[in-house]
Chain A
Amino acid sequence: MNMKDENNITLASEELNVAQQVLEGEGETWVILRWKEQVSAEPISEVLSASAEEFNCYVDYKSIEKSYYRGQIDIVVNYNTSDLNSMDIAAKEVGEEEYFCRQLFYSGKGIETESFDREQLLQETGFSTLMEDGKPSERREKITKGDRAWEVQSPWGAWLWGTGEEQEATIKKVHVAQVGLYSILVEVVIKLEIRQDVSENEKQSIASAVEEETIYNIKDDSIEEVLGMPIARGFWSCAYKINDKKLILKNFKKIVMVYVSSIKGGERLRVASTVKEERMLIEEGFEMFCPVNIKVIKSNEEIILMSSRTLLHREVNYCMLKWELKKKQ
């Protein structure tokens, strides 16, 4: 049984969590780590490199349906600074500015944000940035005191939901950006994954296979690359269509897009999401009781970036049901 679901959905940007942002989906978890700090007393002129000194991961706890991963990460950022002594500090009109400042200071009517059109002021950064694919190479030489280097060390941890063959945790992107005269931002995105192939045994319990093709839009950002789309389902409810002998499954589905923003400056490893209601119609699903376990496995996932704000997402979702009382053959 195949169904085709076509949609056009708008994703809303999520707020950025500093330190650690975890995005859990079925069979995959994305961890975004962020550090932002004033690292230098002199103005930074350029970000030179970023390297991973250490990256490890182990499973700390495991149950039937989920595992808890722990790890440690250590990133070193090298940068250059400018010499304040050789810099020209005074604009030509600095005297006039001070004069007008005095006038405005006295007569200023105050700042109002109501008439302020901030969207018009979106602008790419003039500060230096760096984007590395995968785990950046380790530094060979040790950092010595006085080097223009910033080292960040952090433990991290996240749940990974689902059963199957566990894959090695991988760093997908490292982004370093100068965010001010003296501050640096580091973003790292880690992916935890379980390979969820449908086994021969499980194929027996497939109740439906839904091929989904959805167009997602984003309004307030611009996408350079989509890293992944974890999907989490919850709040299941069942109902029967007695006359047709069909089972109706209803649930909420949270779709999250982890992506790289094409606007340089500040945080670029970003997240947008939406929640929608999902409804599946299972033919020949008429039973005395509701299923005790529902499992959805996605397969053949394909993400096509159509424009900087639109993407096409294709996948096939296999829905597997388990009843407490064995289904009559």
Chain B
Amino acid sequence: MKNVATILVKKAFKKGYAKSSLNAFFFLTIRKHDTYHMERRGCMDMNGLSTGRRSIKNMGKSNFAGIEGFPSEVLQKYKINVTEGKKENKFWLIKSREKSYAAWEYTSNIEILEMSLKWQDYLRQNGFTKILPYVKTATGENYVKVNKKNYYITEFIEGKPLDFQRREDLLELARTLAEIYACSRNFEYEKIGEKEISWLKIKQDRLTELLFFYQYLSDKKLINDYERLYMENFKTYYNRGQEAIEKMVMAGYNPSNKAQTIVLMGNFLEENIVKINSDLMFLHATSCIKGPMIMDLSLLLCMCLPKHKWDWELAKDIIMEYQKKVQLNMNEKYMLLAQLYFPRRFWMYSYRYFKGDGELNNITEKLKKYLYETYWQDKCLNKLENWMLEEENNEYEG
């Protein structure tokens, strides 16, 4: 083993690998080499689990315990010859000799998971392949339930993570988003999830909570800067929220109109999207919820524009890129503005403050930055609104 390693190290230096990547390379090589011998000796089963002797993954431990934190019962249900596995940030990375997989724990509503997996099937049937496919179990199930928790496995490909600072990445994401909508707009999900979600009501409820919080504090001595900032700015943001709701109504939003509601991707975290050459690939798509299709685009804009000081040119370019595939009508544009106007994060910080979730200084600092951000957001949204109106007038005149 020592000789093999020495030769590999020397070769690696000749090829000019950095020292850090060399360490990882060296480690993986030894692991693969050792696993190979263990397989030949017949001490691993089909799922890569040890049948008695110690696996190289668990050297130093007396008993084999599978991948750290991941239930071995789940792996046993899949036809995957596991050679190694480790915990990543949000998933467990599992490798067989042929492929890599990501194993995910799902803790939310199971109906949403079922809807999401069926939606992914539908997208794939319609030619959209930018979500890594999930893997069925040996018995054809989509996910596995162990100890009241649900697990599912998707294929995994290494790639460069998406960068919200890069304009090209954002435009590509807008194109991908439009493709998703184009491929899934006719997806029927009536039988999945009985409850209709009224975003109008949710927004009104959240505003009521803000009002409740304001009233709670109004007859008390304010005891920290968070409360001072909240009380100083409450009226502005409450009115802003009301304005957003009005805009939603003006846009003709009707929750009972199923034509307006689709399944939304709902997750544009940089870590969930990788770039493979020029294409984007979603690692998973189980954060989805139902809502007006414009909500995905608004979420994307809300996630990326603060990093660009709400650059209105960028916002316009993203929307135009989206419109190359899916043309927005006036109502949808109004709906988009309504989503962008709504002070969601103002609500979230107060929610976290009242729940005691997070460190006070941190929440205060974030609220402060959000208040600064509004200055830029207002500038951007005013220009966007004018541009949308102009565009509409031009179409009308044309």
**A116: nearest residue on chain B (CB-CB)?**
B354
Tell me the A252-280 residues at the B interface (CB within 8 Å). Answer: 263, 265-267
Partner of A98, one of B216, B303, B350, B372: B303
CB-contact partner of B202 in A105, A180, A265, under 8 A: A105
Bits for B280-291, please: 1 = Cβ < 8 Å to A, else 0: 000000010100
B228 touches A180 (CB 8 A): yes
- Per the bound structure, the CA–CA distance linking A117 and B223 in Å amounts to 12
> Which residue of the partner chain, among B206, B267, B270, B355, contacts A105 with CB atoms under 8 Å?
B206
Number of chain A residues close to chain B: CB under 8 A:
49
Asked if A99 and B202 make an inter-chain contact with CB atoms under 8 angstroms apart, the answer reads no
B375–A91 touching, CB < 8 Å? no
Q: Which residues of the other chain, B, contact A97 by a CB distance below 8 angstroms?
A: 345, 348, 366
Asked if B62 is an interface residue, CB under 8 A from chain A, the answer is: no
- Give chain A residues whose Cβ lies under 8 Å from the Cβ of B216: 113
Cβ-neighbour of B223 out of A103, A123, A180 (below 8 A)? A123
Binding stretch for chain A, among B43-51, B125-133, B229-237: B229-237
User: When the two chains form their complex, are residues B375 and A84 in contact, meaning their CB atoms are under 8 A apart?
Assistant: yes
A123 contacts which chain B residues (CB < 8 A)? 223-225, 360-361
Q: Is the CB of A183 closer than 8 A to any CB of chain B?
A: yes
Instruction: Find chain B residues with CB under 8 A from A15 CB.
Output: 219
Partner of B351, one of A13, A104, A122: A104
Given A89, A116, A179, A263, which contacts B309 in the complex, CB threshold below 8 Å? A89
Q: How far is the CA of A120 from the CA of B224 in the complex (A)?
A: 11
- Taking a contact as CB atoms under 8 Å apart, the answer to whether A117 and B356 are in contact is yes
Give the CA-CA distance A323 to B216 in the complex, in Å. 53
Residue of A at shortest CB range from B223?
A: A122
Across the interface, do A90 and B373 meet the contact criterion of CB distance under 8 Å?
Answer: yes
Q: Are A181 and B348 in touch, CB under 8 angstroms?
A: no
Interface string of A78-119 (1 = CB under 8 A from B): 000000100101110011111111111111101111001111
Given A84-B372, A94-B307, A180-B231, A105:B344 Cβ within 8 A: yes
**B272 to chain A: closest CB distance in Å?**
9
Whether B225 and A125, one on each chain, are in contact in the complex, defined by CB atoms closer than 8 angstroms, is yes
Can you list 15 A-B pairs, Cβ within 8 angstroms, ordered by A? A89-B373, A95-B269, A95-B303, A97-B348, A97-B366, A99-B299, A107-B108, A119-B223, A127-B228, A180-B229, A181-B232, A181-B371, A183-B232, A265-B222, A266-B228
**A residues apposed to B, CB below 8 Å:** 13, 15-16, 38, 43, 84, 87, 89-91, 94-108, 110-113, 116-123, 125-127, 179-183, 263, 265-267
Give the top 3 A-B pairs by smallest Cβ distance, nearest first.
Answer: A180-B232, A123-B224, A90-B306
